[in-house]
Structure 1
Amino acid sequence: MSLMISVSGIRGIVGESLTPKNLTAFAMAFASWILRRKDDRTKRPRIVIGRDTRPTGKAIGDLVSNVLVLCGCDVIDLDIATTPTVEIAVTSECADGGLIITASHNPVAWNALKMLNHLGEFLTATEVDELLAIADREQFCPAGWDHIGAITHDDRYDDLHIEKILQLSFVDTAAIAKEQFRVLVDCVEGAGYAVVPKLCRKLGMEHIVPVACGGSGLFPRNPEPIEENLSATIAGLKESGCDFAIVVDPDVDRLALICEDGTLFGEEYTLVACADFYLKKHSGAVANNLSSSRALRDIAGRYGVECYSAKVGEANVIEVMKEKSVVIGGEGNGGVILPELHYGRDALVGIALFVQAFTHWRTTNSNGSLSAFRKEFPDYVMSKQKTTLGKTDRSSLENILTDIALQYPEAESNALDGLKLDFASSWVHLRPSNTEPIIRIYSEAPSKKEAETLADKLKRDIEKRTQGH
């Protein structure tokens, strides 16, 4: 498999597509990109680095740190840290950029360099293009022997991140503590293994049952926090008698919740519940991406505010959030973005928002269960499918999608990111993958059958045009 390159950085299988050679090249390109953008050339650039717990993380971190130093950068090494913690550290340190060594929800054989700008945000598409041009032309800027940088280590940022969350106006630890929640916490042996249980206790949840919180980096299951991967966690929750389970991915930018009866609250509904609570405190627009649940739009309607949808991808959602002055947003994969704290998907602030929302609901629903709380929100079901492009050239795909849109005049069509067709009670999103020759087909409707029927119909429409079926 070839190296995957996007606004989220470079990603691949260690020893195959992700090698010492390309790690070195991209680290040099990143340092050179930082140097070119720096106004004050008399000061060495400062770059924050953190990593998840994968067995390859330290070796990659050491390699990349030394490359940056030899390019004249000072490195602030946080060691094991969540993605949102590194993002916060970049701005707190007034650094020029950041690197996170994590392949997020990919299996353990994978790793990656996620690249941040001086705002602690993922590089924009334009910034990625600038960096790739430097790498392609090998326009690197190594430092002379007397201008190399230095590495310092800083282990404060887990606590600083937690403290920033506790200082948010909506957090009421006394109210949470009064509920005496028993909570199972599954960190899949990732970067959240220590900080997530610590945050839960600081929020007022003393009764924690930790699962996969040893920090080994050897994931006991597929690390993506979706239902098909969580059967053992669900069984553990039922056996423990906990009130609910908190599940994060290896770099802690996605949050999933499991109800007391073993049903999933739904990754699409993490943001929905958080936004519903936050809008009670702060009026303003919300945002998600085009493949996220319509439930957020319904919640926005309850509060009389706008709901904007961006192209898929955290950087795209953040761009819309800034443009439209959105107060809370994110993506339907359990990613919550709260500008009051920082612009980045953050499962830690998501935990605080969600638990506070559940606590607030229980003030008028004494001892109510999480499964009952879930019924407070609009109920939709999603279907997620895909189909190959066959021999169709990507340049022809736009015409194919336009043709399909004309076939459904009753739907509101949106061509911002592939094609989204919005029907009265359902929608379907046809989106070409940036990394594979496939089209993703996401649909949502009031029932599973309706969602799957809609997805199947559009899948046939595409295949008839791309594969001659």
Structure 2
Amino acid sequence: MTLIKSISGIRGTIGGSVGENLTPIDAVKFAAAYGVWIKQQRNKENYRVVVGRDARISGEMIQNLVMQTLVGMGITVVDLGLSTTPTVEMAVPMEHADGGIILTASHNPKQWNALKLLNSKGEFLDAENGKIILDIVEKENIDFADVDSLGKIVKNQAFIDLHIDEIMDMKLVNKKAIENANFKIVVDGVNSTGGIAVPLLLDRLGVHTVKLYCDPTGHFPHNPEPLKEHLGDLSKAVKKEHADMGIVVDPDVDRLAFMDEMGEMFGEEYTLVACADYVLGKTPGNTVSNLSSTRALRDVTMKHGGEYFAAAVGEVNVVTMMKEVNAVIGGEGNGGIIFPELHYGRDALVGIALFLSLLAERKMRVSELKATYPQYFMSKQKIELQPSMNVDAILNGVAGKYSNEDVSTVDGVKIDFDDSWVHLRKSNTEPIIRIYTEAKSQDSATLLADRFVDELNSIAITA
């Protein structure tokens, strides 16, 4: 059982001991600290915070604790109920709110939940503000409102529809082409809020939808991370239904993956590549992804005359760089699409609309579209170190050894070779170095990862 406090929020497993797991007391303490931070940031008379959740089993309990804590601090809560992460992000500025809290553990299994914290723009907190909230939690210096100054809860469950309205109004969403394509699509909503939002969007786009696990009970029918090994049922359904494709999202609908007409994965890494290809073809500009994402995005960006930039891993880092370089689209290789024209947050719904616009305009099957992109393959490994080992010294040793190559130390160590790359990152919670590689064949990527496992172990002995 685990409780992890970080600058982006608090996450952990439900039940167990206070301070060691995500218990009701931990949820209240963290919500109260966020309330203090809201008041410090905004410094006004009336405060408003948007709160929504995915469908996981513990969600209603945690949401009630969070909302009533904020009420006790004199803050008005806009209760979205079952929602998606991008919907909550969009609701914050729509409501002219001071912030927002999303109750979701994203792709983690059902025993996990989390409080993810947003600023007044509906964007995740940066490191500085996240640190302030952690300090407030530790100091426990919290004042609650008197009986005449309590907040209230206002329910508003229209925001998924409003979110979809905003997507439908976007110029780049080719509604007519999508409707004329007469797509038949199987949707795996992993029994969470994607089972609500994705079919609603597809219906508005004129798509014939076959629902798979779209009942938002929170009882995930498989591991909720949208990876190939978890999606056998979706593959069978796509083939059985003779569908044009399959769509799967994670429980809070910020990650997106596609399956082709043969029941094969399009590739999570290529979700962003395809959406960027479409957007750049209409509005040329720059792109951003994180250092562990596929090189194919760089290739596609250059083809369209734009410039590609790599950010440190983490959505807030990608968003920060996107703003700096005025990127027209960006995201992460785990299927997270960030389209600034809508909002600065990973959003599976806008990703679906952009991808279907591309597919409909090019009149291609999904497998044919995939074949048009540079083909790269990844390997992901890790090595466990003794707690006494100096991880930074080990990574510095690798960077020094390869100083003649194209090396980045923005986030761990990334080494770009001519036809491959390796990215080494230390875990923030345990003595582990994660090893990500990419090359033009799976064998090459695996061999490169194996090579760096050996090199790291060798350097660790002498570090």
TM interval, shorter chain, is over 0.9
State the shift of 1:162 in Å. Answer: 0.3
Aligned match of 1:347? 348
1:462 to 434, 453, 456: 456
Looking at structure 1, the residues matched to 50 and 100 of structure 2 have their Cα atoms a distance apart, in angstroms, of 5
Aligned match of 1:192? 194
1:84 to 60, 83, 86: 86
State the shift of 1:397 in Å. Answer: 2.3
Q: Secondary structure at the match of 2:148?
A: helix
Please identify, of 169-178 and 285-294, the stretch whose mean Cα deviation from structure 2 is larger.
Answer: 169-178
State the shift of 1:172 in Å. Answer: 1.7
Amino acid at match of 2:2: S
2:26 to 22, 26, 34: 22
Please identify, of 342-351 and 140-149, the stretch whose mean Cα deviation from structure 2 is larger.
Answer: 140-149
Please identify, of 437-446 and 248-257, the stretch whose mean Cα deviation from structure 2 is larger.
Answer: 437-446
Aligned match of 1:164? 166
Aligned match of 2:41? 37
What is the CA deviation profile of residues 154-210 of structure 1, one whole-angstrom value per residue up to 9, with x for unaligned ones?
0110110000000101112111111111100011001111111010111121x1110
Aligned match of 1:227? 228
Aligned match of 2:287? 286
Q: How many residues align?
A: 459
Aligned match of 2:142? 140
Q: Secondary structure at the match of 1:327?
A: strand
Structure 1 outlier segments of 4+, above 6 Å: none
Amino acid at match of 1:230: L
Aligned match of 1:218? 219
State the shift of 1:213 in Å. Answer: 0.4
2:401 to 380, 403, 407: 407
1:391–1:466 Cα contact (<8 Å) kept: no
Unaligned runs of 5+ in 1: 363-367
Unaligned runs of 5+ in 2: none
State the shift of 1:377 in Å. Answer: 0.6
1:171–1:352 Cα contact (<8 Å) kept: yes
Q: Secondary structure at the match of 2:91?
A: helix
State the shift of 1:63 in Å. Answer: 1.0
What is the CA deviation profile of residues 335-358 of structure 1, one whole-angstrom value per residue up to 9, with x for unaligned ones?
000000000000000000111111
Amino acid at match of 1:30: Y
Looking at structure 1, the residues matched to 213 and 431 of structure 2 have their Cα atoms a distance apart, in angstroms, of 35
Amino acid at match of 2:329: I
State the shift of 1:26 in Å. Answer: 0.2
Aligned match of 1:324? 325
Aligned match of 1:365? none
Amino acid at match of 1:425: D
Aligned match of 1:361? 362
Looking at structure 1, the residues matched to 387 and 145 of structure 2 have their Cα atoms a distance apart, in angstroms, of 47
Looking at structure 1, the residues matched to 74 and 406 of structure 2 have their Cα atoms a distance apart, in angstroms, of 52
1:7–1:315 Cα contact (<8 Å) kept: no
Q: Any residues of structure 2 matched to 1:49-198 within 5 Å, and which? A: 49-198=51-200
Looking at structure 2, the residues matched to 258 and 301 of structure 1 have their Cα atoms a distance apart, in angstroms, of 26
Amino acid at match of 1:191: T
1:390–1:466 Cα contact (<8 Å) kept: no
1:392–1:466 Cα contact (<8 Å) kept: no
Matching of residue 8 in structure 1 with residue 12 in structure 2? no
Aligned match of 2:368? 372
Amino acid at match of 1:348: L
- What TM-score results when the alignment is normalised by the length of structure 2? 0.97
1:392–1:467 Cα contact (<8 Å) kept: no
2:391–2:431 Cα contact (<8 Å) kept: no
Amino acid at match of 1:53: A
Amino acid at match of 1:344: G
Amino acid at match of 2:149: H
How well do the aligned residues superpose, as a CA RMSD in angstroms?
1.3
Looking at structure 2, the residues matched to 108 and 434 of structure 1 have their Cα atoms a distance apart, in angstroms, of 23
Looking at structure 1, the residues matched to 404 and 459 of structure 2 have their Cα atoms a distance apart, in angstroms, of 21
Identity of aligned residues (%): 48
What is the CA deviation profile of residues 9-42 of structure 1, one whole-angstrom value per residue up to 9, with x for unaligned ones?
11100003100111110011000010111132x2
1:389–1:467 Cα contact (<8 Å) kept: no
2:381 to 380, 385, 391: 385
What is the CA deviation profile of residues 310-364 of structure 1, one whole-angstrom value per residue up to 9, with x for unaligned ones?
11000010010111111100000000000000000000000001111111211xx
1:432 to 421, 426, 431: 426
